[in-house]
């Protein structure tokens, strides 16, 4: 089996910097496990590393498709696994790094992509129902039959709400059930998973500061461009934290301060959900980043874990 180092953790914890430093030490290449970094032109809001920040380390699965193009977790799975094979064939270490838990799990586990063909008649029926009774009503239905899926699906994301209900009605089990059907006793890779975390207050301060810096760097221009392309209502980027919060401001419906505060709040909530997801995986070895510790110290701690696992450092 190919060796695979996985770096996960909540947003703003410092995954990108640490993954790059590890790649420099381990002759590695990085595969982004971020469901929004795949989109071109969405750079600041998704915290893509700049060419300078990448430090010469090859980065993969960034800027794969244009906003508005369809891209699924199954697409990501196929591309990421192909990249792991390519990187390994070059004699380098693939490092899967990111915070989208579903994308990570789809790559590393024999992931079950729901044994249900698309039922176009049922899908159309659900669409008509959404138009007749309102999207809020069928979202409430989803919340009752699959609260786990409803928690991560935005109430305005009609496509994903309808798909989740379609899965529930055609299989008799909720979407979240199928997403949990993995066999961790048969790993696909020689796997080492590292989880990064910080004290909550420090993490929240980093989130707030990052939002301020993103706005200074031009995040509003990115959101304005998506809005001008008509992607605010129909594209999944509408659900991407970092963009959807600014659409009301750009439409003159609220102040910039209100938009920024909502973005900070939504990002903090997202970080909490990420931690809940990753903490459920017993394979992850957690590295706590305490206040004042330098990146080099954290990297050395992880290198010791790598050495104990693979004897390659």
pLDDT digits (tens, 9 = 90+) for 23-46: 999 999 999 999 999 999 999 999
Tell me the pLDDT band of 73, cut-offs 50, 70 and 90: confident
pLDDT digits (tens, 9 = 90+) for 108-153: 987 766 655 567 788 889 999 999 999 999 999 999 999 988 888 8
For residues 60 and 23, is the Cβ–Cβ distance under 8 A? no
Please state, rounded to an integer, the average pLDDT across all residues of the chain: 90
88 burial class (0-12, 13-18, 19+ CB within 10 angstroms)? middle
For residues 28 and 93, is the Cβ–Cβ distance under 8 A? yes
Q: Which residue in 175, 173, 186, 189 sits closest to 77, CA to CA?
A: 189
Query: According to the model, what pLDDT value does residue 69 have?
Result: 81
Whole-model pTM? Answer: 0.80
pLDDT digits (tens, 9 = 90+) for 291-312: 888 899 999 999 999 999 998 7
Tell me the pLDDT band of 63, cut-offs 50, 70 and 90: very high
Query: According to the model, what pLDDT value does residue 167 have?
Result: 87
Distances in whole angstroms, Cα of residue 194 to Cα of each of 38, 76, 153, 285: 22, 21, 27, 5
Phi, psi dihedral angles at 62 (to 5 degrees): -115, 135
Give, in words, the CATH class of 120-179. mainly alpha
Query: According to the model, what pLDDT value does residue 79 have?
Result: 96
For residues 51 and 84, is the Cβ–Cβ distance under 8 A? no
Query: According to the model, what pLDDT value does residue 235 have?
Result: 64
Query: According to the model, what pLDDT value does residue 104 have?
Result: 95
SS (H, E, C) the chain: CCEEEEEECCCCCCHHHHHHHHHHHHCEEEEECCCCCCECCCCCCCCCCCHHHHCCCCEECCCCECCCCCCCHHHHHHHHHHHHHHHHHCCCEEEEECCCHHHHHHHHCCCCCCCCCCCHHHHHHHHHHHHHHCHHHHHHHHHHHCHHHHHHCCCCCHHHHHHHHHHHHHHCCCHHHHHCCCCCCCCCCEEEEEEEECCHHHHHHHHHHHHHHHHHHCHHHHHHHHHHCCHHHHCHHHHCCCCHHHHHHHCCCCCHHHHHHHHHHHHHHHHHHHHHHHHCCCCEEEEECCCCCCHHHHHHHHHHHHHHHHCCC
The token pair at 139 is 């979202």
Query: For the chain, where do the domains classified as CATH 3.40.50.300 start and end?
Result: 3-111+182-310
Among residues of the chain, what percentage have pLDDT more than 90? 67
CATH number among 3.40.50.970, 3.40.1710.10, 3.40.50.300, 3.40.50.261, domain 3-111+182-310: 3.40.50.300
């Amino acid at each position: 089996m190919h060796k695979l180092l996985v770096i996960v953790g909540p947003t703003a914890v410092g995954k990108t910097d640490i993954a790059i430093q590890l790649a420099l030490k381990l002759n590695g290449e990085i595969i982004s496990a971020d469901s929004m970094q795949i989109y071109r032109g969405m750079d600041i809001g998704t915290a893509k590393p700049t060419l300078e920040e990448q430090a010469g380390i090859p980065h993969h699965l960034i800027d794969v498709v244009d906003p508005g193009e369809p891209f699924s977790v199954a697409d990501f799975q196929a591309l990421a696994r192909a990249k792991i094979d390519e990187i390994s064939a070059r004699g380098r270490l693939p490092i899967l790094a990111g915070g989208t838990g579903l994308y990570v799990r789809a790559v590393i586990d024999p992931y079950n992509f729901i044994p249900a063909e698309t039922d176009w008649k049922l899908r159309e029926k659900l669409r008509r129902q959404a138009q007749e009774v309102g999207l809020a009503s069928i979202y409430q239905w989803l919340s009752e039959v699959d609260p786990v899926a409803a928690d991560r699906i935005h109430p305005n994301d009609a496509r994903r709400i309808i798909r989740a209900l379609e899965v529930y009605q055609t299989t008799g089990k909720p979407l979240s059930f199928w997403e949990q059907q993995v066999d961790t006793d048969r790993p696909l890779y020689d796997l080492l998973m590292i989880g990064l975390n910080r004290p909550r207050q420090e993490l929240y301060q980093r989130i707030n500061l990052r939002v301020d810096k993103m706005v200074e760097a031009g995040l509003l221009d990115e959101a304005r461009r998506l809005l001008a392309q008509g992607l605010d209502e129909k594209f999944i980027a509408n659900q991407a934290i970092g963009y959807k919060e600014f659409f009301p401001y750009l439409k003159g419906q609220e102040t910039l301060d209100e938009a920024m505060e909502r973005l900070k709040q939504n990002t903090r909530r997202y970080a909490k959900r990420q931690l809940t997801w990753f903490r459920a995986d017993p394979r992850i070895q957690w590295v706590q980043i305490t206040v004042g510790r330098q990146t080099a110290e954290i990297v050395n701690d992880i290198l010791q874990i790598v050495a104990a696992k693979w004897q390659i450092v």
